[in-house]
Amino acid sequence: MRNVLATKWGIIIVGAVIGILASLLQFWGNPANMGICVACFVRDVTGALGLHRAPVVQYLRPEIMGFVLGSFGAAYLFKEFRPRLGSAPIVRFMLGVFAMIGALIFLGCPWRAVLRLAGGDWNAILGLLGLVVGIWIGTGFLRAGYNLGATHRTYTSVGWIFPIVMAGFLLIMLFNPKIAGEAQSGMLFYSVEGPGSMHAPLIISLVVGLAIGFLAQKSRFCTMGALRDLILFKQTHLFAGFVSLTLAAFVTNLVINQFNPGFVGQPVAHTMHFWNFAGMVLAGLAFSLAGGCPGRQLFLSGEGDGDAAVFVIGMIVGAAFAHNFGLASSADGATPAGMTAVAIGLAACLLIGFTMREKI
Amino acid sequence: MSTVVDTRGLSCPQPVIMTLNEMKKINKGDMVIRVDTDTAKENVSRAARAQGWQVADIQPEDEGYRITIRKEG
């Protein structure tokens, strides 16, 4: 059977659907210019579980669970579920940690970078430039033979672990629902103020997450791959989806009056141009060395890729470090500790890129 | 006997990189690429067409596919 969603028009439509839904999620309650932000939402999940205690970013975002479970459903429906693992998991874990730290210094993953742009936040331009540079460095390593090695097939139940964990999170949320004005409900933390307190109704977030997970699994939507394939192969396939997402979100923002252009006073953003840039250089490099943007890692973990799941767990740990050690930026800007973390992260990624290559 | 490129187990973008590298070596003729995911199958086919190669055949094999691409001399 031909995979319609993996055609040029397929990926453009998927990008547009994601862009429109992301913009609408903001309308339905998600934070401004953050309809979907995989890094921010994983960070909020980390906070909801109490692994970091930054009170303004704690919410068990159902979109994240939806992404994994939607992909899981699509993979099973189309017989693409392939339980596999074993391609340098510890390296992928570290890349997840540093990708998250870089993203939280900019304040957004590639998805949010274009959503911020589509909402008129010009600081996102610096972030996107950083993303391009980070991925460009990554393609240099790929050209030079960088390779984390092959996976091997494993038991079906191994591929089920991460989707089951996500389903478990959903159950925990159902049994520990948000109580208005309370910072804690049973096992979970809930922000009373700040971005973590802003969210669309649970059922909407979950359904949108499931739909995007399903579409993205089938279309192989990837924001890092979009830029990587353009730089490495001069191929515009995934890039078309990325541009389509941006334009669709921009048009939707105009229609529902969510477009506010400028640099200053943008929601959940800061104006330290260099650190917006540098944070995303780190994130972009880490994504490209790991072979996928944070969204793609969630979708892959839903279709049985245990190494992608390890990357996501790395992101959770990275988010905990970022907030426990004061690395994450705020509206006031990047922190000195965050700046140091960017330097350490870049050094680690370069070491990975230089040392893990086959002789060609 | 055509060249065989085994990309099984390797994640994106390795299958495409290996295919393109092999194309540069042999320039024309037949090449078989073995992949183990649908994503790799689509990516390799797309890259081959973009380079002016024809996707002659795709056969299911084990848990993946055996893709034959061709460029006439």
pLDDT digits (tens, 9 = 90+) for A47-95: 999 999 999 999 999 999 999 999 999 999 999 999 999 999 999 999 9
Pairing of strands A184-185, A84-85: unpaired
At residue A360, does pLDDT exceed 70? no
pLDDT of residue B1: 62
Mean pLDDT value of segment A144-151:
96
At residue A358, does pLDDT exceed 90? no
Q: Which residues of B touch A78 (CB under 8 A)?
A: 38
Mean pLDDT value of segment A102-106:
98
CB contact under 8 A, A360 and B8: no
pLDDT digits (tens, 9 = 90+) for A163-187: 999 999 999 999 999 999 999 999 9
User: Which residue, chain included where needed, has tokens 């192969």?
Assistant: A233
Candidates A220, A227, A228, A297: best to mutate against B (most CBs of B within 10 A) is A220
pLDDT band at A359 (very low <50, low <70, confident <90, very high): low
pLDDT of residue B2: 81
pLDDT of residue A171: 98
CB contact under 8 A, B10 and A225: no
CB contact under 8 A, B38 and A232: no
CB contact under 8 A, B42 and A225: no
Q: To the nearest 10°, the Cα dihedral for A136, A140, A145, A149? A: -30
Q: How far is CA A296 from the centre of its chain?
A: 8
Q: Which residues of A touch B20 (CB under 8 A)?
A: 233
The ipTM estimated for the assembled molecules is 0.94
Say how many CA atoms lie within 13 Å of A218 toward its Cβ.
24
The two tokens of residue B15 are: 């299958």
pLDDT digits (tens, 9 = 90+) for A219-268: 999 999 999 999 999 999 999 999 999 999 999 999 999 999 999 999 99
Mean pLDDT value of segment B21-33:
94
pLDDT of residue B62: 86
How many CB atoms lie under 10 A from the CB of residue B49?
12
pLDDT of residue A149: 95
Chain B nearest CA to A237, separation (Å)? 9
Pairing of strands B64-71, B54-61: antiparallel
SS3 A243: helix
Chain B nearest CA to A190, separation (Å)? 37
Give me the percent of chain B exceeding a pLDDT of 70.
99
Q: Are A27 and A256 in contact (CB under 8 A)?
A: yes
Q: Which residues of A touch B35 (CB under 8 A)?
A: none
Give me the percent of chain A exceeding a pLDDT of 70.
99
A159: which residues sit within 8 A by CB, 6+ positions away?
A81, A82, A83, A84, A303, A304, A305, A306
Q: How far is CA B64 from the centre of its chain?
A: 12
Q: Which residues of B touch A237 (CB under 8 A)?
A: 46
Q: What is the mean pLDDT of chain A?
A: 97
How far apart are alpha carbons A151 and A306 in whole angstroms? 9
User: Which residue, chain included where needed, has tokens 């006997």?
Assistant: B1
pLDDT digits (tens, 9 = 90+) for A110-127: 999 999 999 999 999 999
Q: Are A53 and A196 in contact (CB under 8 A)?
A: no
Give me the percent of chain A exceeding a pLDDT of 90.
98
pLDDT band at A22 (very low <50, low <70, confident <90, very high): very high
Q: Which residues of A touch B51 (CB under 8 A)?
A: none
Mean pLDDT value of segment A198-204:
98
SS3 A181: coil
pLDDT of residue A1: 56
pLDDT of residue B64: 93
Q: Which residues of A touch B36 (CB under 8 A)?
A: 82, 84, 153
Distances in whole angstroms, Cα of residue A317 to Cα of each of A19, A93, B49: 28, 9, 41
CB contact under 8 A, B42 and A153: no
The two tokens of residue A127 are: 């972030």
How far apart are alpha carbons A288 and A97 in whole angstroms? 14
pLDDT band at B73 (very low <50, low <70, confident <90, very high): confident
At residue A16, does pLDDT exceed 80? yes
Rg for chain B (alpha carbons), in Å?
11
pLDDT of residue A3: 86
pLDDT of residue A315: 98
A211 φ, ψ to 5°?
-65, -45
A160: which residues sit within 8 A by CB, 6+ positions away?
A83
Q: What is the mean pLDDT of chain B?
A: 94
How far apart are alpha carbons A284 and A351 in whole angstroms? 15
pTM summary value: 0.97
- Out of B8, B10, B42, name the one closest to residue A6 (CB): B42
How far apart are alpha carbons A215 and A206 in whole angstroms? 14
How far apart are alpha carbons A249 and A113 in whole angstroms? 12
Beta bridge mates, A7:
none
